[in-house]
Amino acid sequence: MESRPRHQQPRARSGSRARFRFRARARSGVIAGIAALAVAGALLAVPPGPATAADARQSADRLQRDTDALRHTGVTGVAVRLRTPDGVRTATSGTGDLATGRPVPRAGYLRIGSVTKSFVATVALQLVGEGRLRLDDTVEKWLPGTVTGNGNDGRAVTLRHLLGHTSGLPDYAADLAPRDSRDYEANRDRVYPPEQQVALAMRHRPAFRPGARHGYSNTNYLLTGMIVRAATGHTWQHEVRTRILRPLGLRHTSAPEGRPFFPQPHATEYQQFAPDGPYTDTTAPYLPFDTGADGAMISTAADLDRFFTALNTGRLLAPAQQTEMRRTVPVPDAPGEAPGTRAGLGVFSTPLSCGGTYWGHGGSGIGYIVEPAATPDGGRSVTVSLHSRPADQDTAVRQLQALRTLVDHALCDPRR
């Protein structure tokens, strides 16, 4: 689930519950744990010149070097898919399974965590375009009595606040994060309906008044999924399938209802629950997090490329709703967060060192991070997946920094 997902990392504290902050921008996703990187952007400033064989070799070599550098920060396995005007390149590093030593799949299935939020936001904005929802609709209008208590007030929180993480609502995920591997094993098959998850969040006071600033909370997208159902009579999963997956031909992407089955091939995912502790196989879904509109979906790098390219180039939203999606607010600085990141409605924009920005949304969960990023013109796209997460916060930040470097190099044409 995520990450602002952003990628969140369990933060172990003496005598307290480890916290996973799933933002997904995860941006993806950050950090309070590992930040879920957000991915976003605007057009690159200078058009590239003609490609040469030397340019292609240089870019391919750099992609593998950056992938290896990310692996060397302590990730068990890394996979990268980069699409440019010259074609598609992939790179892997590390292992896909510590027990067998098998390689990381180059085209494996991925739990995408908070990248799910970009799909759900797209559905909500399509409904706005159809006049079935308004961005100024309050939560109370669609879900009366759901957001209340301890200073939380659904009459003051709008759909726009939910989609852009400016509601101030507390994040339910902190109450359900596993403390250690035994807690993970004991609770991974427990299913909480979204109403119960929201009720857990309502036990806490809001972080700020609605609209005051950006503050990533997975509760926002649980409520969005519930509003989609109230407005359409269908689950958010049904709407994602009929409005996005089928029209785009995303045959390797699923919005599962019930237990999220993980098809083969996929890498094994590992979570470290305490610094210097062992890594636990967390490939099985953690159902308290992995069933909701905030982070339940499964996809592949190729399908994520197709989705974000379609989203960025206007194939999924009318111009008015595309404009609203890209109306951004600043994301507060945090360790591991890219400076200058801004949050839109279900997407994040991040500056590139070569000029311009990119758009996307990171995702993270227990044992994984995924970061899809694309330029607004659809010309370049990269998806990076990490298949382990450390408990040590400093290590988590180093991994996010190496991830940001890889994405920036991949989307900045080497001929610039």
Closest CA to 380 of 319, 292, 312: 312
pLDDT of residue 274: 95
Average pLDDT over residues 103-122: 97
Helix (H) or strand (E) holding 109: strand 109-111
Across residues 243-266, what is the average pLDDT?
A: 94
Q: Is 114 an active-site residue?
A: yes
Q: Tell me the C-alpha distance between 413 and 416, whole Å.
A: 6
Phi first, then psi, for residue 151 (nearest 5°) are 90, -5
pLDDT of 372 over the 50 cut:
yes
What strands, in cross-sheet order, belong to the sheet with 388-389? 279-281, 270-272, 388-389
The pLDDT value given to residue 59: 58
Radius of gyration (C-alpha) of the chain in whole angstroms: 19
**Dist. CA 26–CA 48, nearest whole Å:** 30
Task: Give alpha helix (H) positions in 202-235.
Answer: 219-232
- More confident position, 148 or 44: 148
Tell me: the pLDDT tens digits for 57-68? 555 699 999 999
> What is the band of 222 on the pLDDT scale with cuts at 50, 70, 90?
very high
Residue 356: the pLDDT is 94
The pLDDT value given to residue 44: 23
Give how far Cα 415 sits from Cα of 46, 63, 87, 356, Å: 10, 14, 16, 16
Give the model confidence (pLDDT) of 299-319 as tens digits: 999 999 999 999 999 999 999
CA distance 281 to 266: 13
Predicted confidence at residue 261, as pLDDT, reads 82
Q: Are 127 and 320 in contact (CB under 8 A)?
A: no
405, 66 in Cβ contact below 8 A? yes
Most trustworthy range by pLDDT among 9-18, 53-62, 192-201: 192-201
Q: Residues 18-57: pLDDT tens digits?
A: 334 333 333 333 333 333 322 222 222 222 333 434 445 5
Instruction: Calculate what percentage of the chain has a pLDDT beyond 70.
Output: 85
CA distance 281 to 272: 9
Q: How many CA atoms lie within 13 A of 296 on its CB side?
A: 25
Asked if pLDDT for residue 140 goes beyond 70, the answer is yes
pLDDT for position 318: 98
Indicate the pLDDT class of residue 414, thresholds 50, 70 and 90.
Answer: low
What is the band of 415 on the pLDDT scale with cuts at 50, 70, 90? low
User: What pLDDT shows up at residue 92?
Assistant: 98
Measure the CA–CA gap between 374 and 407, rounded to whole angstroms. 9
The model's confidence at residue 336, banded by pLDDT at 50, 70 and 90, is confident
Q: How far apart are CA 42 and CA 342, in angstroms?
A: 11
Question: What's the confidence (pLDDT) of residue 337?
Answer: 79
pLDDT at 319: 97
pLDDT at residue 320 greater than cutoff 90: yes
Q: What is the DSSP letter of 170?
A: P
Q: Are 376 and 43 in contact (CB under 8 A)?
A: yes
Res. 350: pLDDT tops 60: yes
- Please determine, for residue 5, whether its predicted confidence score (pLDDT) is greater than 80: no
Four-residue CA torsion sign, 352, 10, 216, 232: positive
Q: Which of 3, 28, 114, 349 is catalytic?
A: 114
CA distance 91 to 60: 9
The mean-pLDDT minimum among 156-160, 223-227, 292-296, 330-334 falls in: 330-334
Enumerate domains of the chain plus CATH numbers. 11-411 (3.40.710.10)
Task: Tell me the average pLDDT across 199-222.
Answer: 98
